[in-house]
Amino acid sequence: MLFQRDNGGVEWIVVGLGNPGKKYESTRHNMGFLAVDGLADKEGFRFTKLRFKAWTATWNHGGKKVLVMKPQTYMNLSGEAVGEAARFYKVPPERVVVISDDIALPAGKLRIRPSGSAGGHNGLKSIIRHLGGDNFPRVKVGVGIPQQEGYDTVDWVIGKPRGEDEKAIIAALDRAVAAIPYLIDHGAAEAMNKFNG
């Protein structure tokens, strides 16, 4: 092709959102990290390079080169890492897949969207700001919201799911791992039909 972009071959970026550090491991807010770790286990790639303020891995999926990222800024600055990588590789927003937690969804529910607002999620807000719009697909893993009044949302999302919630979320993460390659191959609309519900 005469006008092929020189982007080092990277065609897609997959971003798992979370907070770095031991104290945040396996918390509700780290669903994105857990999903891309699961993807790495399933597809046999490893996060070995710290670039663009993120742990990165290269995943060769069906002849497509995919950059997989775990931003190492805190959640509300995730867009710095994503924006930098997207600009460097000239990857358009519609080929940047973001996996995050969602308190508006019941624990264990998976929802794929081709675009949309941040819905109060600070990581998504930051990415929208740094990509210059909300036209990027996202895979949301429901973590639910506490039923008792006066519960602090921040305490909830940086807490770890337990019992039935934990079981439901583990199952949702498995579906998220399956949804990511499907979305790359078939697009967000078809992935929504197959995995939402």
- The DSSP letter of residue 28 is G
Q: 61-119: per-residue pLDDT in tens? A: 988 999 999 999 988 999 999 999 999 999 999 999 999 999 889 889 999 999 988 88
Residue 74's CB: how many other CB atoms inside 10 A?
A: 15
Q: Classify residue 4: in a domain, yes or no.
A: no
- Quote the CA–CA distance of 66 and 58 in Å, as a whole number: 6
Residue 12: alpha-carbon gap to chain centroid: 13
Q: Which CATH number characterizes residue 87's domain?
A: 3.40.50.1470
Structure tokens, 165: 């919630």
What domain count does the chain have? 1
**Radius of gyration, alpha carbons of the chain:** 16
Catalytic residues: 29
Domain that includes residue 148, residue range: 10-195
Q: 10-29: per-residue pLDDT in tens? A: 999 999 999 998 888 887 78
Q: 123-157: per-residue pLDDT in tens? A: 999 999 999 999 999 999 998 887 777 777 766 66
- Order of strands, sheet of 10-16, starting from the edge strand that comes earlier in the sequence: 49-51, 54-61, 64-71, 10-16, 96-102, 138-142, 110-113
